């Protein structure tokens, strides 16, 4: 038993240390501080693995809570040993963003993992241990955006929800922008985001094949039959998100950024790492296709075109070949798994309301909501009806509406609730992102092309749904994209000012 325990301790030490060092660790050469950290962390890991910690802290056990008790002391050890604890917390925040609404209670006190990661990352910021980001266009227009949004928000009936989503997203954007100023920060943000979305896509594929859904909080598996978003008899996977559209929107941004990462890795001769990213992109792309989210899929296709157009001239041919090859692999994998459901869903893109289309009635309802939202905005063109008030209009005039009914379009939702003031704020946002992409291009042209493709994909996905502005999990999942744009643009501006 003692030998097994010693073996586990040594293995734990190697795992912890290899997470931040790129060489094999000789335990005999560890510094006293490192040995102390490992000795302190090991008992807590073993107690967590035995289940004792879970029984002590939680009244209702679950696999998620069990893993939390095991992983927490490991993360604490990594933070203590890592050269930059700030990057560890930022990576954790990016990783847990898809489960941002997950609440865990300790002794009756509830908290969200994302909030904890952001607060812990804020400690080095308050202590002045991180480098500031240079000025960006987005930071410059932010005060004007807030002024434009203030009046519609003041007229709203449910202001806290969009405000809280904006705060969550802004926090992740800020942390990611700061992170890439640190050595290795860019790699941490990209790897954390890609790994998180890879898990979401893998979970989606599992859900699609098993017709089941995994509850991340309780750790239970339940049937997805008769789910609202089912397509014919085929359930649509959601990952840990609330619906398949959210899943599709979250996954779509990874495609162009991943292609850019593959190109950069190949340029640096890191073929093994490039192969790993390609495999991850294949899984993510199949998960996106199986979500049956039409506009997100169209956004992915548009992003492949955008990444070629935004790429440096010398890289466009190779980027086009990589995009085409990846698209072929994704189509083959998606059709193999999705079969008739995927093909029938894709065929409805050209004429969604045509006779014989399974979802024609739902798309006609969506068109009605679009028209109603547009009319509402035209009746209140300056400030709209107020943030959160469109639902009241839909309940009064759209048959079958419920408390969750919305405009099914980010742009129409903003126009109907905020008028031209809201559209002006959105225009400032998109314009600032465009300017920051232009600045970032001088510093990281290939990566910026991938980020531009992600922005294009998200803008297209926003045409037919509102998940990016209604759900904190979606907003914080895509926030690292803006964080990278702001960070790269800010770095460039800061360097030029010297």
pLDDT digits 0-9 by tens, 321-337 = 998 888 888 778 777 77
Predicted confidence (pLDDT) at residue 221 exceeds the cutoff of 70? no
Q: Identify the pLDDT of residue 379.
A: 94
Q: How far apart are CA 44 and CA 53, in angstroms?
A: 8
What is d(CA 71, CA 54) in angstroms, rounded to the nearest whole number?
12
Of residues 412 and 357, more confidence is placed in 412
3-state SS string for 80-146: HHCCCHHHHHHHHHHHHHHHCCCEEEECCEEEEHHHHHHHHHHHHHHCCCCCCCCCCHHHHHHHHHH
Q: Cα separation of 366 and 402, whole Å?
A: 14
Beta bridge partners of 106: 109
Which among 451, 433, 480 is positioned nearest to 185, based on CA atoms? 480
List, for residues 391-446, the tens digit of each pLDDT value. Answer: 899 988 888 888 888 899 999 999 999 999 999 999 999 999 999 999 999 889 99
Neighbours of 221 (CB within 10 A): 13
Who wins on pLDDT, 92 or 68? 92
Contact 323, 307 (CB under 8 A): yes
Is residue 448 within 8 A of residue 456, CB to CB? The reply is no
> Residues 243-258: what's their mean pLDDT?
93
Check whether 495 has a pLDDT greater than 60. no
User: Which of the two residues, 36 and 2, has the higher pLDDT score?
Assistant: 36
Q: Is the pLDDT of residue 73 over 90?
A: no
Please state at what angle helix 294-310 crosses helix 340-347, rounded to 10 degrees.
70
Q: How far is residue 291's CA from residue 201's CA, in Å, rounded to a whole number?
A: 9
* pTM of the predicted structure, to 2 decimals: 0.84
Query: Residue 323 and residue 305: Cα distance in Å, rounded?
Result: 8
- 408: helix, strand or coil: coil
Q: In angstroms, rounded to a whole number, what is the distance separating the alpha carbons of residues 301 and 305?
A: 7
Name which residue leads in pLDDT, 61 or 17. 61
Give the residue among 247, 238, 236 at the shortest CA–CA distance from 215: 238
Spatial distance between the Cα atoms of 255 and 326, rounded to a whole number of angstroms:
9
Confirm if 244 and 237 have CB atoms less than 8 A apart: yes
C-alpha count within 13 angstroms, C-beta hemisphere, residue 32: 0
- Mean pLDDT check: name the lowest of 212-216, 296-300, 388-392: 212-216
Please indicate whether residue 490 or residue 224 has the higher confidence score (pLDDT).
490
**Distance from first CA to last CA of the chain, Å, rounded?**
61
60: DSSP letter: S
Q: What is the DSSP letter of 406?
A: -
Distance CA 193, CA 196 (A): 5
* pLDDT number for residue 253: 92
- CB-neighbour burial class of residue 300 (10 A; exposed 0-12, middle 13-18, buried 19+): buried
pLDDT of residue 482: 96
The Cα 20–Cα 34 span in angstroms is 13
Instruction: Please report the pLDDT score of residue 48 as a whole number.
Output: 75
Distance CA(326)–CA(342), nearest Å, equals 18
Tell whether the model's pLDDT for residue 19 goes beyond 50: no
């Amino acid at each position: 038993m003692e030998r097994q325990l010693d073996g586990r301790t040594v293995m734990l030490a190697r795992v912890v240390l290899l997470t931040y060092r790129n060489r094999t660790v000789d335990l005999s050469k560890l510094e006293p501080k490192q040995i102390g950290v490992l000795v302190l962390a090991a008992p807590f890991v073993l107690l967590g693995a035995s289940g004792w910690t879970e029984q002590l802290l939680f009244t209702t056990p679950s696999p998620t809570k069990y893993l939390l008790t095991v992983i927490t002391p490991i993360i604490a050890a990594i933070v203590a040993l890592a050269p930059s604890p700030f990057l560890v917390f930022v990576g954790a925040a990016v990783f847990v963003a898809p489960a941002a609404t997950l609440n865990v209670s300790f002794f009756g006190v509830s908290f969200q993992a994302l909030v904890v990661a952001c607060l812990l990352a804020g400690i080095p910021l308050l202590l002045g241990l991180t480098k500031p980001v240079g000025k960006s266009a987005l930071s410059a227009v932010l005060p004007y955006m807030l002024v434009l949004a203030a009046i519609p928000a003041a007229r709203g009936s449910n202001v806290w929800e969009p405000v809280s989503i904006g705060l969550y997203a802004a926090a992740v954007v800020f942390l990611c922008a700061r992170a890439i100023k640190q050595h290795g920060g860019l790699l941490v943000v990209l790897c954390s985001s890609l790994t998180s979305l890879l898990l979401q896509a893998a979970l989606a594929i599992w859900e699609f094949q098993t017709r089941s859904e995994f509850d991340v909080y309780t750790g239970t598996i339940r049937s997805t039959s008769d789910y609202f978003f089912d397509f014919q008899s085929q359930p649509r996977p959601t990952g840990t998100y609330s619906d398949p559209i959210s899943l599709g929107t979250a996954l779509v941004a990874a495609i162009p950024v991943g292609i850019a990462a593959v190109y950069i890795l190949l340029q640096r001769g890191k073929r093994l790492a490039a192969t790993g990213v390609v495999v991850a992109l294949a899984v993510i792309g199949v998960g996106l296709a199986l979500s049956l989210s039409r506009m997100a899929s169209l956004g992915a296709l548009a992003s492949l075109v955008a990444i070629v157009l935004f790429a440096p001239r010398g890289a466009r041919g190779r980027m086009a070949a990589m995009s085409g090859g990846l698209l072929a692999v994704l189509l083959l994998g998606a059709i193999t798994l999705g079969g008739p459901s995927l093909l029938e869903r894709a065929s409805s893109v050209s004429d969604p309301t045509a006779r014989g289309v399974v979802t024609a009635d739902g798309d006609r309802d969506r068109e009605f909501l679009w028209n109603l939202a547009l009319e509402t905005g035209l009746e209140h063109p300056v400030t709209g009806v107020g943030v959160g008030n469109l639902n009241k209009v839909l309940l009064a005039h759209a048959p079958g509406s419920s408390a969750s009914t919305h405009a099914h379009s980010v742009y129409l939702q903003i126009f109907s609730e905020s008028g031209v003031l809201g559209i002006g704020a959105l225009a400032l946002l998109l314009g600032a992102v465009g300017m920051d992409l232009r600045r970032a291009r001088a510093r990281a042209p290939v990566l910026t092309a991938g980020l531009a493709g992600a922005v294009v994909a998200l803008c297209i996905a926003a045409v037919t749904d509102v998940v990016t502005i209604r759900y904190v999990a979606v907003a914080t999942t895509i926030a690292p994209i803006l964080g990278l744009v702001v960070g790269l643009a800010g770095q460039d501006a800061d360097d030029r000012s010297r």
